[in-house]
Structure 1
């Protein structure tokens, strides 16, 4: 298989994986529904930056070394699971406060839009992806199975660029579509339900990752 065919296959597999629901998708939906298009696009930039780092670490073999070292990989799992639990509890706590004090929750939501929201949004997107041990394993598998060691430097750079660009395109498209005026009104009306669903998703995935880490210690 020549390099062009490898890159096309890599792009196809990666894009299919991007479209499957997970923490990244939930993060985009939750934040776009609360804070609108600009924050959703910033989250998308943070998520794709995390994928860029994963791609570089995988293609250079660093991620493989981490996976092969049980202690290091367990640390990554514990950090990633704990961060997802943090996001999950935060979403569920916001839902609880909104139901208990509707007026106060509304004021708090408005304040969060002003206080360094874009910087926090990028950081949240980046950390969600970079600390996800499932992403680490996925990119190791993707690179090791599709990108041969004999591939040219240009080909490897192209592979990393494609993975980053597709992630940025997909997450940005999601944020853009979810923030159209008509859909934004519906999302705002359903914000409490979205918080609840996203909180449960983050919490369940976080618990599953922590359970895996603890069971392998």
Structure 2
């Protein structure tokens, strides 16, 4: 298989993984629905940087060493699942607040975007991706299976940049579309239901990871 063909295969697998519903996708939808375009784009960049780091660590063998070291593997798994639970509980609390107080979501996107700011949104995106144990396993599995050991440094560098760019473009496009004036009006109306769905998703994934850790 030529390097160009392999890059195309990796890009396809990576993109399919990105568009599949998961914590990253849900976080962009939830944040953009509440805080508008600026926060959504900051989340997108944070997620892409997390993917950049995952790809770098996987191709250099660091992620594999972490996975093989029981204490580090457990520590990252606990940290990642706990962070997902934190996001999930926060989303469910926001939903509960809305249904208890009718005007709980009355903020405009511009006003709510000032809560935490772009730096906070970037950090949330980065932490959600880099601490996701399933992301660690995904990148190790895909890259170890498709990238040959004999691959050149320039090829590996190309993969790292490719994964980052695809992730950044996809999540930024998603945030941009969801933050258009028409979409934002619809998103604000269904924001509590998005929170509920994201809360269930985050807590289910986080709890499932912890349960799997306890039973293995």
Runs of 4+ in 1 over 3 A off after TM superposition: 102-112
Structure 1 pair 115/33, CA: closer, same or farther in 2 (3 Å)?
Answer: closer
1:112 Cα deviation from its structure 2 partner: 4.9
Alignment of 1:100-179 (within 5 A): 100-103=100-103, 106=106, 112-179=112-179
Q: Distance in 2 between matches of 1:186 and 1:115?
A: 21
Q: TM (normalized to structure 1)?
A: 0.94
Residue number in structure 2 paired with 1:43: 43
Q: Distance in 2 between matches of 1:3 and 1:29?
A: 35
Q: Distance in 2 between matches of 1:110 and 1:215?
A: 45
Q: TM (normalized to structure 2)?
A: 0.95
Residue number in structure 2 paired with 1:199: 199
Q: Distance in 1 between matches of 2:112 and 2:59?
A: 38
Q: Distance in 2 between matches of 1:109 and 1:204?
A: 28
Q: Deviations over 1:135-161 (max 9, x none)?
A: 001000111111112111111100100
Cα root mean square deviation, aligned? 1.7
Q: Distance in 1 between matches of 2:35 and 2:143?
A: 35
Residue number in structure 2 paired with 1:88: 88
Gaps in structure 2 of 5+ consecutive residues: none
1:114 Cα deviation from its structure 2 partner: 2.0
Structure 1 pair 47/157, CA: closer, same or farther in 2 (3 Å)?
Answer: same
Residue number in structure 1 paired with 2:10: 10
- Aligned pairs, number: 216
Q: Distance in 1 between matches of 2:151 and 2:101?
A: 58
Q: Deviations over 1:24-72 (max 9, x none)?
A: 1110110100011111111000000100000000000000011112222
1:177 Cα deviation from its structure 2 partner: 1.1
Q: Distance in 1 between matches of 2:147 and 2:184?
A: 40
Q: Distance in 2 between matches of 1:37 and 1:69?
A: 40
Residues 29 and 175 of structure 1 are in contact (CA less than 8 Å); yes or no, is this contact kept in structure 2? yes
1:108 Cα deviation from its structure 2 partner: 11
Structure 1 pair 130/5, CA: closer, same or farther in 2 (3 Å)?
Answer: same
What SS class does the counterpart of residue 151 from structure 2 fall into?
coil
Residues 98 and 106 of structure 1 are in contact (CA less than 8 Å); yes or no, is this contact kept in structure 2? no
Residue number in structure 1 paired with 2:32: 32
Q: Distance in 2 between matches of 1:106 and 1:184?
A: 13
1:193 Cα deviation from its structure 2 partner: 0.6
Q: Distance in 2 between matches of 1:114 and 1:66?
A: 37
Q: Report whether the alignment pairs 1:53 with 2:53.
A: yes
Residues 36 and 184 of structure 1 are in contact (CA less than 8 Å); yes or no, is this contact kept in structure 2? yes
